[in-house]
Amino acid sequence: MLAKTISRIRRNHGLEHATIHVLSEKQKNFSAQGNSDHRGFHLNIYGDVSEEAVMNAVEEAFTRMKRGEHQLAVHPNCGTVLLTTATMAALAAQAAFTVEQKRRQSPTMTLPVLLNALPSAVLSVVVALIVSRPLGIHLQAQYTTEGDLGDMELMSIRRISPSPVTRLFQLLLTGGAKQLKATAYKIETRN
């Protein structure tokens, strides 16, 4: 039961990404954000993208994935990649500060420890940023998305009211640009 639920989430997550890829091929000047569960996914669009364009993109993404374009399931701006990047950068910086603290045999973080470790921490974070992107994409492809939709069926695509979280992401993703309006959609799948 759990394995089937996880598989559905991964396939819906892949279809969410594929939809964003298809929209990106046809639309300009928009941002998108979504979240998936075992019933489908929510898709939030920030910009001037018509409801018809979103519905067509979902259907096209579904069709293309069913025809074997499984690579559409992986997206470079996925939360998996962002989480991997943030985690690796934080660990790299912490490691650099800890090494300097141990080298100085300092029981606490002092200003001299901080100042001496800062160049190493910055370098460590840069290396982590470079390494984390391909690692995050790999983790996404292996664990959080699935490109083979199997027997999944597309049940419905409907526009819904943007939630408070959608409004927060509108602010974060658009820098508060009012012309990039928020629209929200619920896409439901089965199997």
Cβ 81 vs Cβ 138: under 8 Å? no
Q: For the segment 96-141, what is each residue's pLDDT rounded down to a tens digit?
A: 999 999 999 999 999 999 999 999 999 999 999 999 999 999 999 9
Residue reference for tokens 């941002």: 31
Please tell me the number of Cα atoms within 13 Å of 158 on its side-chain side: 6
Q: For the segment 35-74, what is each residue's pLDDT rounded down to a tens digit?
A: 999 999 999 999 999 999 999 999 999 999 999 999 999 9
- Indicate the CATH number of 2-76+148-190 among 3.40.605.10, 3.50.50.60, 3.30.980.10, 3.40.50.300: 3.30.980.10
Residue 103 region, left (φ>0) first, then alpha (ψ -120 to 50), else beta?
A: alpha
Domain boundaries, the chain: 2-76+148-190, 79-144
Question: How far is it, in rounded angstroms, from Cα 17 to Cα 61?
Answer: 9
Give the strand pairing for 153-160 and 182-190.
antiparallel
Average pLDDT value for the chain: 95
Residue 166 has pLDDT above 80, yes or no: yes
CA 31 to chain centre: 12
